[in-house]
Chain A
Amino acid sequence: AQTVTQSQPEMSVQEAETVTLSCTYDTSESDYYLFWYKQPPSRQMILVIRQEAYKQQNATENRFSVNFQKAAKSFSLKISDSQLGDAAMYFCAYRITKNTGNQFYFGTGTSLTVIP
């Protein structure tokens, strides 16, 4: 069974500082995608970053980067130079690549507060 675990229900960071959100997952598959989605109070899930499991290089998108440890099944998100607009719920998600469409498995989320 595919499970995604986010062990930090809440995190806080000072504006302009760096914060890391943790995620672990369990799967028997070898080929899959991992994602971080952001859900602000507007409720819309917004894609932050994506990682293909076959790629060893960690994905980066501007101030957002991941630390992907495939053997450890760990996928953490680092937010650098945190901004007030980064405050939101962050969900780690997993999806296998067997042409099964967009069936995601989500974690329970981490609520990020950015302190001015």
Chain B
Amino acid sequence: DAGVTQSPTHLIKTRGQQVTLRCSPISGHKSVSWYQQVLGQGPQFIFQYYEKEERGRGNFPDRFSARQFPNYSSELNVNALLLGDSALYLCASSLALSIPEAFFGQGTRLTVV
């Protein structure tokens, strides 16, 4: 059974551009969350979606948005990229809100130049 898959694995963008990152959860998992991991830090929570509805938002600017599709896959969009947005973006999926374990993908490494 496939794990959490994220695409692309690496991405280089220019300041001011927009980027879309994609995540496919484990089959049957309905909850998807996004995290930003800056080099040398632990992951920081950005968004959580469950059954296509936003269920949580971290302390990130409105330039960050996300959505979840009927097949439970998810996209994270970041507009007007800043150098500080350079990070590893991790997606995590879990069966349901009440399930404590989350399974992470390998992340998308975003570099903003």
Contact = CB atoms under 8 A, between A and B. Distances in A.
Interface of A: 4, 33, 37, 42-47, 50, 52, 91, 93, 95, 97, 99-109
B61 to A, nearest CB: 18
Contacts of A107: 42
Nearest to B48: A101
Nearest to B101: A47
Interface string B22-52: 0000000001010100001111110010100
30 contacts: A42-B106, A43-B88, A43-B106, A45-B43, A45-B92, A45-B104, A47-B101, A47-B103, A52-B100, A95-B100, A99-B97, A100-B48, A100-B55, A101-B31, A101-B50, A101-B55, A101-B97, A102-B31, A102-B48, A102-B94, A102-B97, A102-B100, A103-B33, A103-B56, A104-B43, A104-B45, A104-B92, A104-B102, A105-B45, A108-B42
Interface residues of B, number: 30
A101 B94 contact: yes
The 3 A-B residue pairs with the shortest CB-CB distance, nearest first, are: A106-B42, A45-B104, A102-B102
B107 A43 contact: yes
Q: Interface centre among A4, A50, A106, by most B CB within 10 Å?
A: A106
A33 B92 CA distance: 17
Contacts of B33: 101-104
Instruction: Tell which of B55, B99, B100, B109 has the most Cβ of chain A within 10 Å.
Output: B100
A91 B55 CA distance: 24
A93 B104 CA distance: 13
B107 A106 contact: no
A93 B100 CA distance: 12
B92 A102 contact: yes
B42 A50 contact: no
Nearest to B107: A43
Given A44-B104, A101-B48, A109 B42 contact: yes
